[in-house]
């Protein structure tokens, strides 16, 4: 299920952000509806992570607005973030804390009371198959399991808006399956999910909508049920490159 | 939501190996060092190289001299020890990459920074309060005998000097945040220690908050200690307060770039 752009829980309106005069995000409009998994695909440096950081208020836009549940994130009250979960760049995994302690800490910081945080931690330990490591320090986890922990920490409070940057990074096939199932569950309960990935096969399986980001701009959408997503992706990117080259000459 | 931030920061501090090591070094290491020096000063043959060197460092017989030396050692050790922990507590969020996890939360970043300052200050004060107690045990072990009433004032002064040094370490959090890692903050801390020596040598020590506790403890001799007034020492909590406010403000405005 998806809402129209105006009522979308996660909305980018003409977002622009440059670093050292180099545009990282260059006028992006994007809407993620309730119950929708919206995938962002693009080459390295396309602007996916910067767009997510803008939507989460981690960087301020040079122009445009990022709206979460109808509120501009640059002026959002702290309580708004109670309804948002994210995994961007490094996972929430303090190496000196156990896996369970990390989950409880994430729950507390997302607004859960201590008892609710413990209960949610137990639930997520099962959901992400982290039970065997529950009482081990997170420094001993493999990269894939650290990523699972980060994902669990992002979802511990059942957020209405979920933003995940490369959530399957370093995961084995079993982990990838878990993520896919988890995102289906999140969308099924009505969360708006924005997820970035390099893996076109993977996003084709989980996404309701796929936006192609290239050089900081959304240059097209892909049909998740399309037969050759990779070919369609590169055709979109090359067409954009050709248009830019043509415009420059 | 500050309760949640306090609970999480307190847990991270409690689980940290660096914090445990620093606690042990300050609580056990400082009294052990001073007790060793004092024992050397009193037990080595008079005029021997060991006795002369220990004496030059201020070690002498009796509880007041012994606890005075504890205060002098604590002035430097508490600043460096707690400064390193403060640098780690703030800087690790950047080097570990966990800073992104502290954005987009109902706990504001200013609340997180304030919680860090609060738990660091509470930990540091608890540690320096324990040092004179352990130092008394050390004094008993080296045969100073039962402490009399004359031990109370230097013992309290040692704890107070330690507390002032803990407060002086607080602005290190701003250096770790602005430098986005613990190392720039440790560098700044060492620079402050060097600067303190220079300012003291120039004779303006009492007015320089980083020099005042050490001078008050007697590091510059009895005359310099007498020259340190309450007003000089009152600047120290002000430095900590400015450090806390500046750090929280920095965190409130921070971006992930």
Determine the Cα–Cα distance for residues B48 and B56; give it in Å rounded to an integer. Answer: 12
Residue B12 to residue A93, Cβ atoms within 8 A: no
pTM of the entire predicted model = 0.92
pLDDT band at A117 (very low <50, low <70, confident <90, very high): very high
Strand pairing partners for A71? A68
This model of the complex carries an ipTM of: 0.91
Q: What is the pLDDT of residue B50?
A: 73
Residue B103 contacts A where some CB pair is shorter than 8 Å: yes
Which of A140-144, B68-72, B183-187, B222-226 bottoms out in mean pLDDT, i.e. has the lowest? Answer: B222-226
Provide the pLDDT confidence category of residue B106 given band limits of 50, 70 and 90: very high
Q: Return the pLDDT at B59.
A: 62
pLDDT interval class at B60 (50, 70, 90)? low
Q: How confident is the model at residue B23 (pLDDT cuts 50, 70, 90)?
A: very high
In chain A, pLDDT over 70 holds for what percent of residues?
Answer: 97
Name which of A12, A193, A11, A1 is nearest A85 in CA terms: A193
**Which chain B residues are closer than 8 Å to A57 by Cβ?**
103-104
pLDDT in tens, B137-172: 999 999 888 998 999 999 999 999 999 999 999 999
Nearest Cβ partner of A108 from B8, B17, B256?
B8
- DSSP output for B107-134: S-HHHHHHHHHHHHHHHHHHHHHHHHHH
pLDDT score at B39: 85
Nearest to A84 among B4, B102, B104 (CB): B104
Q: Give the range of the structural domain holding residue B198, as residue numbers without chain letter.
A: 2-253
Out of A60, A93, A94, the one facing B255 most closely (by C-beta) is A60
Q: Please say if the pLDDT value at position A3 is more than 70.
A: no
In this model, does residue B73 exceed pLDDT 50? Answer: yes
The rounded distance, in Å, linking the Cα atoms of A158 and A149 is 15
Mean pLDDT over A130-140 rounds to: 95
Total domains in chain B come to 1
DSSP B164-210: HHHHHTTTHHHHHHHTTSHHHHHHHHHHHHHHHHHHHHTT-GGGSTT
B97 touching chain A per CB within 8 A: yes
For residue B78, the tally of other CB atoms under 10 A from its CB is 28
B114 touches B2 (CB < 8 A): yes
Query: What's the pLDDT at A2?
Result: 42
* Mean pLDDT to the nearest integer, B20-34: 96
**Average confidence (pLDDT) over B103-129:** 97
Contact between chains at B103 and A106 (C-beta distance less than 8 A)? no
pLDDT band at B9 (very low <50, low <70, confident <90, very high): very high
A64 three-class SS: strand
**Residue pairs between chains A and B whose CB atoms are closer than 8 Å:** 82
Q: Tell if the CB–CB gap between B15 and A114 is shorter than 8 Å.
A: no
């Amino acid at each position: 299920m998806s809402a129209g752009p105006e009522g979308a829980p996660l909305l980018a309106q003409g977002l622009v952000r440059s670093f050292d005069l180099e545009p990282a995000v260059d006028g992006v409009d994007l809407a993620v509806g309730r119950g929708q998994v919206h995938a962002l695909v693009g080459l390295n440096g396309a602007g996916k992570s910067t767009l997510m950081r803008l939507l989460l208020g981690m960087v301020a836009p040079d122009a445009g607005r990022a709206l979460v549940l109808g509120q501009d994130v640059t002026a959002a009250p702290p309580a708004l973030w109670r309804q948002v979960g994210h995994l961007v760049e490094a996972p929430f995994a303090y190496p000196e804390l156990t896996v369970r302690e990390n989950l409880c800490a994430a729950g507390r910081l997302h607004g859960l009371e201590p008892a609710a945080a413990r209960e949610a931690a137990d639930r997520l330990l099962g959901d992400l198959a982290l039970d065997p490591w529950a009482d081990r320090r997170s420094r001993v986890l493999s990269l894939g399991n650290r990523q699972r922990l980060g994902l669990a920490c992002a979802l511990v409070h059942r957020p209405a808006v979920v933003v995940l940057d490369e959530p399957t990074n370093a995961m084995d096939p079993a982990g990838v399956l878990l993520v896919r199932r988890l995102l289906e569950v999140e969308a099924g309960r009505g969360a708006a999910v924005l997820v970035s990935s390099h893996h076109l096969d993977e996003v084709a399986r989980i996404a309701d909508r796929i936006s192609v980001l290239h050089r900081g701009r959304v240059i097209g959408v892909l049909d998740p049920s399309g037969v050759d997503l990779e070919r369609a992706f590169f055709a979109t990117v090359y067409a954009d490159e050709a248009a830019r080259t043509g415009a420059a000459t | 939501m500050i309760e949640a931030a306090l609970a999480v920061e307190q847990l991270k501090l409690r689980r940290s190996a660096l914090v445990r090591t620093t606690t042990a070094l300050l609580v056990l290491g400082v009294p052990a060092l001073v007790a060793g020096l004092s024992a050397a000063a009193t037990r080595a043959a008079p005029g021997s190289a060991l006795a002369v060197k220990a004496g030059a460092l201020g070690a002498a017989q009796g509880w007041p001299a012994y606890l005075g030396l504890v205060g002098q050692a604590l002035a430097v050790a508490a600043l460096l020890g707690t400064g390193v922990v403060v640098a780690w507590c703030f800087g690790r969020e950047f080097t570990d990459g966990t800073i992104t996890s502290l954005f987009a939360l109902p706990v504001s970043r200013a609340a997180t920074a304030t919680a860090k300052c609060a738990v660091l200050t509470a930990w540091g004060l608890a540690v320096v309060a324990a040092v004179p107690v352990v130092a008394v045990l050390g004094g008993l072990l080296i045969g100073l005998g039962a402490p009399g009433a004359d031990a109370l004032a230097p013992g309290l002064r040692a704890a107070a000097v330690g507390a002032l040094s803990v407060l002086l370490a607080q602005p290190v959090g701003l250096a770790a945040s602005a430098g986005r890692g613990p190392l720039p903050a440790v560098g700044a801390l060492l620079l402050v220690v060097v600067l303190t020596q220079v300012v003291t040598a120039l004779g303006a020590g009492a007015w320089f908050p980083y020099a005042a506790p050490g001078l008050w403890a007697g590091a510059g001799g009895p005359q310099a200690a007498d020259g340190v007034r309450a007003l000089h020492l009152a600047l120290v909590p002000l430095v900590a307060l400015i450090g806390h406010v500046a750090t929280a403000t920095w965190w409130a405005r921070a971006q992930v770039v």
